[in-house]
Structures are given as C-alpha cells and as structure tokens.
A and B are shown apart, each in its own frame.
Chain A
Amino acid sequence: MKRFSLSLVNILSIYALAVPSTAAMIPQRSVLENGMILLTSEQRALPMVSIELLIDAGSRHDVPKQEGLANLTARLLTYGTQRRTALEISDALDFIGARLSSGCGEDLANVGMTVLKKDLGTGLELLAEVLTTSTFPQGEIERQKQSILAAIRAREESPGDIAQRRLAAALYPQSPYGRPVEGDEASVKGLEQKSLKAFYERYYRPNRTILSVVGDVSHQEIAQALNQAFRSWPKGEPVTPPAPPSKVGSAETIRVAKDLTQANIILGHEGVGREHPDYYAIQVMNYILGGGGFSSRTLDSIRNERGLAYSVYSYFGAEKRRGTFELVMQTKNETALEAIRIANAEIRRIREELVAEQELEDAKDYLTGSFPLRFDTNRKVANFLAQVEYFELGLDYPERYPDLIREVQREDVLRVAQKYLKPEQLITVLVGNQKKIGEK
C-alpha cells in the first residue's frame, strides 16, 4: 500500500502566509482487496464519519428505450435487500439518525452516508447491504416509478430546469448526455425488474467504485472494516464504455412558452473535459467573464449597471470526456433581448481585448486564496477526495493547484477566450412569455 500524504498547512503558509492551522487534510489512498479504491482523511474533531461513493453507473450507460434505468437503479438501492425490507432499512437508519442517500448523474451514480462514530458499524453494514444485496422488489419498483413520473411532471414547474434540459438536448442530440437522467414518461413506465437487476449486477462493482471516508476513523481501521463488510462483493467484468457524444449541435434559438414574469435564459455551447490542459486558463477567463460572483463583468454590466437581473453567472462545467459552457440569467420578459445582447457583447469583448492586469490578478487571488476554504466540512473533503481520484488529479493536487492558476497570463486568457467561447455555436434558450419577450 502506497501512502500519500499532504497537509493544507503547507499550501497556506506558502501562498497566504497563514498562521498554521491545526487542521490538515492528510489524505491516504489504498486499493482494497476487491479492487475498490479507498481514500480517507482522518478528522478527529467530531464523533462522526462522512462517506461518499462514486460508482461508474451513470445514465450514459442507458440504452435507447430504457432511458432512466441507471437512475431508477440508484434510487432503489435503499428499498430492499436480501436481509431487509425498505421500511426496515429506513427505520434502522432513522433510529441512529444516519443519513444515507443515493442518486444518479450522467456519468456516475453516487451514494452518500453520514453517521455518528458510535454507529459506524451499523452504518457500514447497511451500506454494504444496499451495494451488494439489493433485491429490487416489484412493489418498490412500482412505487419508485410513480415517484419518478411525478418528478418528471414537477420539473415542468421550474423554468430554470426546463431551460437546462432544452440546452442539453440541443448540445448532445442522440446521446444519453442530451437526455434527462430520470428518463421520460414512456421509458420509465417500460422499465422492468430484470433490466434493473442486470444493470445492478453489471455496473455496481467494487472495481468501478471510488469510496471516500472522512471523519473520526483511521485509514487502517476503515480499510479493515470495509474489507470485512464488502468481502462478498466480487469484481465485475470489464465493460466497454459507451462512446462519448460526438455530434455537437450548431447555433440556434430555442423558445419555450410559459406564463412567467421572467424569461429564464441560457446561452451555451460545448466546453472542454476536465482533463484538458487549458482547463485552468479557462477557469481564470470565466471568473472574469461571469464566474466571479459579485465581481464579474457580466454581473457588473447586467445587474449592477442596468438592474436587469438578480442572478447572472457563467461557468465551464468540466466532466470526464466532455464539458459545457453556460451563461445563465433571469430578467423580466420585456428586457430579455436586451440582456442577451449585453451578454453577447461581453463574450465578444473578452475575445477581442486583453483583460486588465488588475482583473487577472483579482481572479487568480480569489481562485488560489479561496481554494483551501472549499474544504471546511468533512462532507466537502469527502466529495473533494472522491473527485480528485475520479479525475485522476493526484493527491498532490491541492499543492499543485495554486501554481496551475498562478501561471495563467493575460495572453492565455485571450487565447482561451478566442478558442473556447464560440459565438458561432451559441445556443440561446429562452423560457418565458414569448409575446412579451418579442421577436428580435
């Protein structure tokens, strides 16, 4: 077992000249007997343990006509195992005040647990049960399907969600990434127990799982307990990964009519994957454009100067093998086109002119200075460690991060703006009262 360790204290004292704190992340990594990758950070301040699992079982594995299978599988994990009924599981969890949740995204399914240290044994037992012996009872499948069908209805109440879905569909046509994780009404109704069991058998495997544990427990202690709890979970066969989305949509305007007081607007196009070497320069550029909270250009010109919106921001979401750029805002229907015009002008400006030295410094100062503060709870550390492993950033990533940001220059910002902001591919989604929004 290789031992990795690092301390946040180092980063702080190098880059922020902080008084060393007693806290440190000190992550450790090992590969368990069954192939599961374990990351830990021992944090003894509170008698609690946070656990985060990432499983390569997201909706990208859904096949046509079975959209929603990955999601339904993830949601049913805690609704019946070989030993316990759904009610017995929830009662056992509630009795110890533990939190256990499961969910699903396009790439990954995730399971999270928070439990008191004194109940860690019970918690791990339940966790191992749902991951290795879920039974997907017919009655629970029907219940959960109804619940998902209701969620599919409810998502129409959220104009922001509608806009997101329409953008994804336009960006990734004919791809699982362009479809809602939960599927649609017809596909969900058609999902069957045997498909769920097959999906679970195939994708819920230790060698497809990253497990991160943060809290009042040592690496040795938890590794031993996990080897015991998960001893009957065999490795799975290799699975051919689905092809990443290839066809990318071209520029268009999508309008959705809704009787709303505000237009919900997204301007978006494809971005880059997390592994891309320009990722860091893009983050700096985007901070200046629209990522920088109260100090970004779009917020300044759209909110502060003109009072057109309460919320306006942009981001480059970077996943494995793909990414998206989005600029998101809401403004009353009547000013929607004006706000879009200004947003486009800001995109143009950052592609044409070097940013000011001061803007660049502010962006770099924020990104490096706020970095250690992103891990101020056990749960956040657990999420972070799992992500570091998933994106193969290396456990020295927190030490390397400040340099990756610091080396970005004004010319880099201009270059990545020109390369990765693509006005000619920009998809504009407008959800709102179309009559009031107007035509041009």
Chain B
Amino acid sequence: MAKVISCLLFLLTMLAMLPETAAATQVQEFVLDNGLKVLLLEDHKSPAVTFQVWYRVGSRNEKDGKSGLSHFLEHMLFKGTQKMKPEEYSRIIAKNGGRSNAFTSSDVTVYFATMSRDKIGIEIELEGDRMVNALLGETYFEPEKKVIQEERRLRTDDSPVAALGEVAGAVAYMVHPYRRPVIGWMDDIENLTRQDLVDYYKLYYEPNNAFVVMTGDFSTQEMLPKIKAAFGKIPRGAEPPKVRAEEPPQTGERRVTLKKEAELPFVLMYYHTPNSKSRDSYALDVLSVVLAGGRSSRLYHDLVYQKRLARNVDADYNGLSIDPSVFSVTAQLMPEKEPGEVEREIDGLLENVKSELVSDRELQKAKNQIEAAFVFGQDSIFGQAMKIGYYEALGDWRLMDSYLDGIRKVTREEVQRVAQEYLDRDRRTVGVLVPIKEKSQ
C-alpha cells in the first residue's frame, strides 16, 4: 500500500501562488453520451502528456475461486485486438517515444502511457480500440498464465514481507473481497479459463464503467475531439453488478504468524478504518504523520533511533479505497529482537496518542509535512493523474479539492479521538513474520 498523505487542491492556494499557470490547473470534467467520464488537467510545465483509462473493476469484484481474474485480463489486453497484432500496442507506443504500462489494484484496473503532446493521440486511439476489441486469443492464454505465475513467485512467494501482508489481509477480512490478493491465489490462477476472461471483459469493460484521466502539456480544445472520436462510438453497456459485501465489525484481536526463510522478523498491525469519504480521514492522515512521518516522528524516534528495536517503521493510512480499509503500522526488527517486545513498545506509543493530546507544534509539523508533500506531488504529471483517478474511483474527484482544507482544520482533540476510536486492539489483526533457516538442499 502506498503512502497517501498528499492530495490536490487546485483552486484556492494555487491561484495565489502560481499566477501564470493558475488558469490551467483546474480539472475539467466532460461526460460522453455513452457514459464515459473524461477528466482533463492541463499542466504545461514539462513537455509530456499522461493519458490513463481507469476501469472500475479490480480484485474487489472477483468471486471465490476466480481470484486474479482482473489482473489476468489486464495482461491479456496487451495481446492484440481485431486491428492490432499481439504486443503491437507496446511496440507502437515505444516507437513513438512513449512509455506505457498498466496496473491492477483491489478497486481498479488502469492502462496508461506518457508521450509528447503531438503523439498522445496515438495512445488515445489504441485505448479506445482495446476497450472493446481485445481478442484475448487462445494461443496467448497459457503462456501468459505462466508469466503471471512467475510474477506471483517474484512478488509474493519469494518475498517474505509481501507474503506476510497477504496472509494478514486474508485474516483481517472475513467477508469483504479485500481479503484476496490482487494477483490471485496460485491455484486460482492455474484454474482460470479463457472463457472467464471473455465473460469478465464483456461485463466490466464498457465506457460507462470507466473514466479517462489526462494531465500535462496539451490543449483541451485539441484533445477532447480526439477522445470523443476514439471512445464516442462505443455503445453504453449494461450496468455492471455492484459489489455487495460488508465486513462485519471485528470484536476481538486476530493474530497470524508466517514462518519463512528470512533474516529479520517483521511485525504488522492492521486496524479497520473508514475511507476518505469519512470526515475522520483527515485526522487519520495527520495521525499517521505524527506517528511515522520523518525521523522526528514518534514511532521512528522511539523504535528506530532511541531503542533500536526496529530497522524501520511505518504508519500508513490508506483512505483512498472504495470500501473501508485499514490503518497499518509495520516494523522490520533489528537482529535478535523479539516481536513481542516490539509489539509492546508500539502499543505503548499508540496508547500515548490516545491518552494525551499531541502538542501544538507536533500537530503543526504534521500539517506542514502534508502540505509540502502536496506541493512536491504536483511535480509529476503522472502523480497528479493518479490522484485524480483514485479520488474519482472512490466517488468524486472533487473530494480532493477540499483535502488540504480538511487537513488544516484538524485539531489535537480530533487526532486523539480518532486514535481512541480506531486504534482499538479488538479491531486489529497482528501479523508476525518468523524467520526460519533455509532447508538443506
């Protein structure tokens, strides 16, 4: 899970700071007749344009036994369309100086390329094409399945910390599909069929279940007609099925242990929290920075610097998920330290933010860090497109406009209250990686 502490606020502060570009730093929204939403943000500070298509489908939409389907489909969208030979998409983008890729998360599947302004039209056309014309060819199905299994081995099976995250996620959620890994369980991947992909593609890849985000050095007048030409004729599809899964309240701590060949123990804690639609998300963001934002933060200073119990430590609140997610606290231990000791130390520090108000200076420091990160985040047009996309996937990109304002209003009392309410041991899952020595070979 990536650290999400900064978001965009284009209107108020930027107008004051950036007179020459302020007029262009607003997101413009258009909706095509077929339901495709188009979000455009002109930003002329570097000669590049990022174009992204976001499908509102991810592992969250998958059923038991079919985990990894969204991600598998993402891979297969590079295997040709009625007009394009397999792998031709990547070749054309590269030939035109662009960089392209795609990713799948619990909530979304996203395809993107970054190119120069005069070439980005090619990407727009190709994305329009593969929204409806992907072949998902039989010939490429089995080799790609093997590729995905190798990806799983690389990312999860041979990575002790990632493997711990996977089992802890499966324990933190009982009902909600967030319990399943995005890449899928190995056995599920093995048993997926081409027909599964075909059905899934039909169900979810349609203009009314997708949106476009474009940021960078382009002009709206020039690009909007291109987007309309590439996507406008695709017919609106049936409304895809809604995910109806609500995680029942947790009423007691859950614990999970993973034994694996590794060097250093690792401890993680997942606390159930609401997402960014909740007012509390601002205070949760501030809380995560008070705990682990920089070397002077509470957890880092105590565990890493003073007591040298952990090699590194993090606190991360991911509010930008469609359904309620978790606040995580993680620590990789120093050699010869005991997970129990580290857990007790973390617990003590979390108790402190519940029992005593953070200082005024500490609160201001956390807010300053969030505001600075927000400005730094705008340095990348790709990063900006990602933020717009995540907010839109969550419900409405306009939520990000009120983000900094929400952060500025957070009080010491609110930080204390959200700590008390959500950092509740009865609503957490604790995962511990126990390193074992390698088996003799």
By a beta-carbon cutoff of 8 Å, the part of chain A in contact with chain B is 8-9, 12, 16-19, 21-23, 43-48, 50, 86-87, 90-91, 93-99, 114-116, 143, 146-147, 149-151, 153-154, 156-157, 159, 257-262, 292-295, 300, 303-311, 330-332, 361-362, 365-366, 368-373, 375-379, 433-435
Given A86-B295, A308-B146, 14 other A-B contacts at CB below 8 A? A23-B44, A45-B20, A93-B296, A94-B297, A95-B361, A95-B365, A99-B376, A143-B308, A150-B264, A154-B332, A259-B438, A292-B94, A372-B116, A376-B47
Q: Is the CB of B150 within 8 A of A19?
A: no
Shortest beta-carbon distance from A184 to chain B in Å = 15
Q: Is the CB of A90 within 8 A of B158?
A: no
A87 CB contacts on chain B under 8 angstroms: 295-296, 301, 305
Q: A150-B311, A370-B97 are in contact. Are A47 and B375 (CB under 8 A)?
A: yes
A16 interface neighbour in B118, B217, B308, Cβ under 8 Å? B118
Q: Is the CB of A153 within 8 A of B264?
A: yes
B157 CB contacts on chain A under 8 angstroms: 261-262
B17 CB contacts on chain A under 8 angstroms: 47
Q: Is the CB of B439 within 8 A of A310?
A: no
A369 interface neighbour in B18, B98, B217, B261, Cβ under 8 Å? B98
Shortest beta-carbon distance from A112 to chain B in Å = 12
Q: A97-B372, A330-B153, A435-B441 are in contact. Are A368 and B87 (CB under 8 A)?
A: no
Question: Is B78's beta carbon under 8 Å from chain A?
Answer: yes
A257 CB contacts on chain B under 8 angstroms: 438, 441
B119 CB contacts on chain A under 8 angstroms: 16, 369
B12 CB contacts on chain A under 8 angstroms: none
Q: A146-B334, A149-B335, A372-B47 are in contact. Are A154 and B116 (CB under 8 A)?
A: no
A22 interface neighbour in B45, B373, B381, B441, Cβ under 8 Å? B45
Q: How far is the CA of A372 from the CA of B118 in the complex (A)?
A: 13
Which of B137-145, B172-180, B194-202, B348-356 is the contact stretch? B137-145
Q: Is the CB of B154 within 8 A of A311?
A: yes
A45 CB contacts on chain B under 8 angstroms: 18, 20-21, 43-45
Top-10 shortest CB links A-B: A369-B97, A97-B372, A307-B146, A307-B143, A294-B90, A90-B295, A45-B45, A94-B294, A310-B151, A21-B47
B142 CB contacts on chain A under 8 angstroms: 307
Q: Is the CB of B94 within 8 A of A94?
A: no
Q: Report the interface size class on chain B.
A: 35 or more
Q: A295-B90, A330-B150 are in contact. Are A261 and B308 (CB under 8 A)?
A: no
A97 CB contacts on chain B under 8 angstroms: 368-373
Q: Is the CB of B365 within 8 A of A94?
A: yes
Shortest beta-carbon distance from A267 to chain B in Å = 18
Q: Is the CB of A48 within 8 A of B379?
A: yes
A310 interface neighbour in B91, B150, B263, B381, Cβ under 8 Å? B150
Q: How far is the CA of A174 from the CA of B160 in the complex (A)?
A: 33
B305 CB contacts on chain A under 8 angstroms: 86-87, 143
Residue of A nearest to B222 (CB): A19
Q: A116-B375, A157-B160, A311-B154 are in contact. Are A22 and B90 (CB under 8 A)?
A: no
Q: How far is the CA of A171 from the CA of B266 in the complex (A)?
A: 34
A262 CB contacts on chain B under 8 angstroms: 150, 153-154, 157-158
A154 interface neighbour in B87, B148, B263, B361, Cβ under 8 Å? B263
Q: A146-B308, A262-B158, A307-B142 are in contact. Are A373 and B294 (CB under 8 A)?
A: no
Question: Is B46's beta carbon under 8 Å from chain A?
Answer: yes
Q: Is the CB of B380 within 8 A of A376?
A: yes
Q: Is the CB of B97 within 8 A of A373?
A: yes
B154 CB contacts on chain A under 8 angstroms: 262, 310-311, 330
Q: Is the CB of B117 within 8 A of A368?
A: no
Q: A373-B99, A379-B379 are in contact. Are A94 and B295 (CB under 8 A)?
A: yes
Interface residues of B in 353-411 (CB under 8 A from A): 361, 364-365, 368-373, 375-376, 378-382
Q: Is the CB of A46 within 8 A of B146?
A: no
Q: How far is the CA of A302 from the CA of B376 in the complex (A)?
A: 39
B97 CB contacts on chain A under 8 angstroms: 16, 365-366, 368-371, 373
Shortest beta-carbon distance from B174 to chain A in Å = 28
A370 CB contacts on chain B under 8 angstroms: 94, 97-99
Q: Is the CB of B98 within 8 A of A94?
A: no
Q: Is the CB of A376 within 8 A of B98?
A: no
User: Of residues B304, B364, B382, B438, which shows the largest number of chain A Cβ atoms within 10 Å of its Cβ?
Assistant: B438
Residue of B nearest to A306 (CB): B143
Question: Is B293's beta carbon under 8 Å from chain A?
Answer: yes
Question: Is B303's beta carbon under 8 Å from chain A?
Answer: no
Q: How far is the CA of A306 from the CA of B365 in the complex (A)?
A: 53
Q: Is the CB of A304 within 8 A of B438?
A: no
A259 interface neighbour in B48, B217, B304, B439, Cβ under 8 Å? B439
Q: Is the CB of B378 within 8 A of A46?
A: yes
Q: Is the CB of A366 within 8 A of B150?
A: no
Q: How far is the CA of A262 from the CA of B17 in the complex (A)?
A: 51
Could you give 20 example pairs across A and B, Cβ below 8 Å?
A16-B97, A18-B117, A23-B217, A46-B18, A93-B294, A94-B297, A96-B372, A97-B372, A143-B305, A146-B308, A149-B335, A151-B311, A261-B157, A293-B90, A293-B94, A309-B150, A311-B154, A372-B47, A376-B114, A376-B380
User: Of residues B97, B143, B147, B148, which shows the largest number of chain A Cβ atoms within 10 Å of its Cβ?
Assistant: B97
A8 CB contacts on chain B under 8 angstroms: 47
A331 CB contacts on chain B under 8 angstroms: 150
Residue of A nearest to B308 (CB): A146
Shortest beta-carbon distance from A127 to chain B in Å = 16
Q: Is the CB of B147 within 8 A of A310?
A: yes
B261 CB contacts on chain A under 8 angstroms: 258-260
B21 CB contacts on chain A under 8 angstroms: 45
| Chain B window 155-194, contacts with chain A (Cβ cutoff 8 Å), 1 for yes, 0 for no | 0011010000000000000000000000000000000000
Q: Is the CB of B114 within 8 A of A362?
A: no
Interface residues of B in 329-350 (CB under 8 A from A): 332, 334-335
Residue of A nearest to B146 (CB): A307
Question: Is B262's beta carbon under 8 Å from chain A?
Answer: yes
Question: Is B95's beta carbon under 8 Å from chain A?
Answer: yes
User: Of residues B78, B87, B95, B371, which shows the largest number of chain A Cβ atoms within 10 Å of its Cβ?
Assistant: B95
Shortest beta-carbon distance from A389 to chain B in Å = 21
Question: Is B28's beta carbon under 8 Å from chain A?
Answer: no
B96 CB contacts on chain A under 8 angstroms: 365, 369
Residue of A nearest to B305 (CB): A143
Question: Is B115's beta carbon under 8 Å from chain A?
Answer: yes
Residue of B nearest to A114 (CB): B376
Q: How far is the CA of A433 from the CA of B157 in the complex (A)?
A: 14
A379 CB contacts on chain B under 8 angstroms: 379
Q: How far is the CA of A16 from the CA of B305 in the complex (A)?
A: 52
Q: A147-B311, A294-B94 are in contact. Are A46 and B45 (CB under 8 A)?
A: yes
Q: Is the CB of A23 within 8 A of B294?
A: no
Q: Is the CB of B87 within 8 A of A300?
A: yes
Residue of B nearest to A43 (CB): B45
B78 CB contacts on chain A under 8 angstroms: 294
